[in-house]
Amino acid sequence: MIISIESPADFHVHLRQGSISQLIVPHVRKGGFHLAYVMPNLKPPVTSMEQALKYKTDLERIDSNVDYLMTLYLSPELTPDEIRKAKNAGIVGVKSYPRGVTTNSEGGIESYETYYPIFEVMQEVGMVLNLHGEVPSDAETNVHVLNAEPRFLPHLLKIHAAFPALRIVLEHATTRAAVEAVKSCGPTVACTITAHHLALIVDDWAGQSWNFCKPVAKYPDDRQALRDVVKEGHPRFFLGSDSAPHPPEAKSVSRPAHACAAGVYTSPILLPLVAELLESFGALDNLEGFVSRNGRAFYQRPYTGKGSGKVTLRKLSERKQVESTYILGNDSLIPFWAGKEIGWELVEETTV
C-alpha cells in the first residue's frame, strides 16, 4: 500500500538549542514533515520578537527547507506593543505554560486575567494562543498529574468566552474531558493530539521513564476518546507531536532528589508512527486530515511556498525495527519505540 500526504505539518515540536539542535532539527524532515510549529521554552525562554527571529535564523542554518512557525513565551515581559511587532514580523503564536508543570516552565503564569490585555491584542491582530492545559499539582486541593488537565478546562472556557474571536489551541489533549470541552467551543478553538498519547495509557509510563511525559498518558477510556475524535475526522483536532528530546541520561536515570525528564521523542519516526497508529484503530483514511489539512486550515497555512510538497509512505511487507539511538558528536537521543517494530516507512520527499 502506498499513501501520499500533502505537506505534513507538526503543530507542536521542541527543537531545543545549542549543539543538540544539530541532531534534532534534521529529524523534522526525516520524520516526514515540512512544517514545524516551534515551542519557545528555551533557557532563557523566547519572550521577544528579536529572540524569536534569531532562533528561527539558527534553525534555518541547520535545515532551511522546513517552514518554521515561531512562538513567544507568555510572561510578564510581554507587552501589547511586542505582540504587534511580533505579528508584523511573522511570528504566529504565544504559548502559555502554567508555572512548573513541564520542562523549562519555571517562568510560567499563575493568573490568566493578568494577561487579558495581551489576549485582546492577539485577538485583534490574529495571533494564536497555545495553552498547555494543566494546572500545577497541589496536595491541598487534590490536584495531581492525573487530574491536572480536567482541572484546567474551566480556564480554557473562560478565556474563550472573554475572547470569542481569539484563536486558541489546547495543546496535547490527553482526556475525554478535554476532547468534549474543545468540541463544545466555537470554531476558534482547536486541539492538538500527540502520536504517543494515541499509543500510551497510564500503565505504560508507570515505572517506564522513556514513556513519561507531561501531560502524562491517562486511562484507556481517555485514549479511546482521542482515537475516536481522530477517526471521526473532526476538523479542529490535528497533530502536534510535542516531540520533546532529552539526553538519555536525563530520561533513564532518576534519584530520590531528582526525577527523570518529562518528554517523548517522536520526530524521526513521526509520520510512519502516526500511520501505524491510525491504521491500528481504523482511522488511516483520515491520515492527511490529521497530519496536514486540519491544522493548516486552522493556522491559515496553505500548501504553498516553503515546506510544500508531497510525502509518500509505504506499508512494509515485513516490519522493521525502529532505530535504537541517534548520535551526532557528543550528543545522542533515543526515540519513542526504539527497538520495536513498525510497519510503515517514508519512501520519498519532494519540497519546493
Express each pLDDT in 194-208 by its tens digit.
999 999 999 999 989
- Rounded Cα distance between 36 and 267, Å, is 10
CA distances from 138 to 104, 142, 145, 149, 158 (A): 19, 6, 10, 13, 21
pLDDT reported for residue 108? 46
Whether 351 is covered by a domain: the verdict is no
DSSP code at position 31: T
| Backbone CA torsion sign across 269, 274, 276, 277 | positive
CA distances from 75 to 17, 114, 192, 276 (A): 20, 10, 22, 38
- Model confidence over 88-119: pLDDT tens digits? 999 999 999 987 555 554 544 568 999 999 99
Whether 206 is covered by a domain: the verdict is yes
Residue 232: is its pLDDT beyond 90? Answer: yes
pLDDT reported for residue 194? 98
Record the pTM: 0.94
Whether 102 is covered by a domain: the verdict is yes
Whether 223 is covered by a domain: the verdict is yes
Give the three-class secondary structure for 94. strand
Whether 60 is covered by a domain: the verdict is yes
Whether 33 is covered by a domain: the verdict is yes
Cell of 152: 484546567
CATH number, position 143: 3.20.20.140
SS3 per-residue string spanning 288-347? HHHHHHHHHHHHCCCCCCCCCCEEEEEEEEEEEECCCCEEECCEEECCCCCCCEEEEEEE
DSSP code at position 128: E
Whether 85 is covered by a domain: the verdict is yes
Looking at the chain, the whole-number percentage of residues with pLDDT higher than 90 is 87
- The range of the structural domain enclosing residue 235 comes to 2-346
Average pLDDT over residues 63-89: 96
Domain total in the chain? 1
